[in-house]
Amino acid sequence: MDIFKKKALVLIFGDPLQLAILLLIATALGFAIAWTYKKTHKGFSYSQSFSVSIILMTVVTALIITLIQDSIARAIGIFGAFSIIRFRTAVKDVRDIAFIFFALATGLAVGVKSFASGVVGVIIVCGLVFVLYRTNFGGLRRFEYVLSFRMESKHHSGNLFKDLFDRYTKTQSLLNVDAKDKGAFLFFTFHVKLRDEEKLNEFIAEMNKVNGVSDVNIVSSDNDLEF
């Protein structure tokens, strides 16, 4: 009788130990995805809450799939409930969308108890992310910077920076010029590629010596900057 009672309880409430193991696996894989996201993140828009959300998405997705199992009625009910939810958080980086799908796919694999697929998938995809990060795939070439500075209009000349740019840069292109204080000051933004990375500080010092130039600032183009 005890065996039949136990089976009846499992049918009604499910196997709590199996569910706990499943969610622990999902949590571990979620941590691996979040850690990869953190270690390979570039730019200024890193969000700790997004890293936490990656873990939660993996676990919650696995839990939802275990609830659905083979029941079409449950699937319709759950996804019908989710259809009334409106998400208004803007995604700042398209790379974040890829990690969202990564977490969801991993949660799906764990939810259907395809643990091998989930583990192997996380290892391969995380490895791919690190390779792309280390090789800077799709990024701009090295030694490229965005140079900005302020200049008094009365000192401006078309060839004022030519010798300096020719000495320190391979290429340079004007991105933007903005006049302030009724034209008294001009704010320049250039995209430059240096000849020698080690002469970056020397280049900045020489720019500061130019008559009428101030507020010299230079930022690596490795960061996702738009103009």
Whether residue 97 is found in the same domain as residue 118: yes
Q: Which of 83, 108, 135 lies at the terminal end of a domain, its last residue?
A: 135
Closest among 217, 216, 214 to 151, alpha carbons compared: 214
Cα–Cα distances in angstroms (integers) from residue 191 to residues 130, 169, 173, in the given order: 28, 10, 5
N- to C-terminal Cα separation, the chain: 75
The reported pLDDT for the residue numbered 2 is 53
Residues 112, 30: one domain?
yes
Sign of CA dihedral 133, 135, 136, 139: negative
The pLDDT score that the predictor gives to residue 13 is: 47
- Could you tell me if 76 and 7 lie in one domain? yes
Specify whether 115 is located in the same domain as 161. no
Q: Please state the pTM of the whole predicted model.
A: 0.63
Of the residues 94, 115, 135, the one at which a domain ends: 135
Same-domain pairing of 23 and 69: yes
Overall number of domains in the chain:
2
Domain that holds residue 168: 144-220
Q: Which long-range contacts (CB under 8 A, 24 or more apart) does 47-50 make?
A: 47/92, 50/96
Q: C-alpha distances in angstroms, 201 versus 118, 195, 197, 208?
A: 48, 13, 9, 11
Asked if residue 168 is part of any domain, the answer here is yes
**pLDDT confidence of residue 60:** 92
Residue 121's φ and ψ, nearest 5 degrees, are -60, -45
Q: Within this chain, do residues 29 and 50 fall inside the same structural domain, yes or no?
A: yes
Residues 112 and 16 in one domain: yes
Q: Alpha carbon 26 to chain centroid distance?
A: 22
Q: Which of 81, 116, 135 is the last residue of a domain?
A: 135
Which pLDDT band, with edges at 50, 70 and 90, does 221 fall under? low
Smallest CA-to-CA distance from 111 within 54, 53, 72, 61 is with: 61
Both 181 and 124 in a single domain? no
Q: Are residues 166 and 119 in the same domain?
A: no
pLDDT at residue 140, as a whole number: 57
pLDDT for residue 1: 47
pLDDT at 167: 87
In this structure, what CATH number is given to the domain that contains residue 183? Answer: 3.30.70.260
Identify which has the larger pLDDT, 12 or 218: 218
Q: Is residue 35 part of a domain?
A: yes
20 and 38 in a common domain: yes
**Domain membership flag for residue 227:** no
Co-location of 106 and 210 in the same domain? no
Q: What is the pLDDT of residue 222?
A: 57
Domain shared by 123 and 169, yes or no: no
Instruction: Give domain status of residue 225, yes or no.
Output: no
Cβ distance 18 to 66 under 8 Å? no
